Amino acid sequence: RKEVEQDPGPFNVPEGATVAFNCTYSNSASQSFFWYRQDCRKEPKLLMSVYSSGNEDGRFTAQLNRASQYISLLIRDSKLSDSATYLCVVRSAGNKLTFGGGTRVLVKP
């Protein structure tokens, strides 16, 4: 089983709609969680860190469920510019950073 798993998608989303997707992790001792965004195989960039109580950054909301070992990302009022691959990242002991395979989102007019 992979340490970090994501639905590869693509999620085809009408402009203005809401989309949500999850990421599961296998190591219950994982310490920190992040969502990164990657455009057209360019370098990944941090979208947001995920706090234990959940957090929001504009149209983006991240949640952590430690009991079920998953994190989620919700995008409201989707824009064409939100089309990208969203990468789930988990930090485990020793500051190892493990990426999921990515979820591709396509926002269409």
Partner 1 sequence: NAGVTQTPKFRVLKTGQSMTLLCAQDMNHEYMYWYRQDPGMGLRLIHYSVGEGTTAKGEVPDGYNVSRLKKQNFLLGLESAAPSQTSVYFCASRGTGGLAEAFFGQGTRLTVV
Which spans of this chain sit near partner 1 (rule: CB under 8 A)? 3, 6, 8, 31-32, 34, 36, 41-46, 49, 51, 87, 89, 91, 94-102
Give the pairing of strands 103-108 and 96-99. Answer: unpaired
Shortest Cβ distance from residue 20 to partner 1 (Å)? 19
CB of 15 to partner 1, least distance (A): 25
Rounded distance, CA 54 to CA 65, Å? 9
Q: Which amino acid is at 31?
A: Q
Query: What pairs with residue 108 in β-bridges?
Result: 14
Tell the smallest beta-carbon distance from residue 99 to partner 1 (Å). 4
Query: Given the complex with partner 1, which of 12 and 18 has the nearer CB atom?
Result: 12
> What is the distance between the alpha carbons of residues 43 and 52, in angstroms, rounded to a whole number?
27
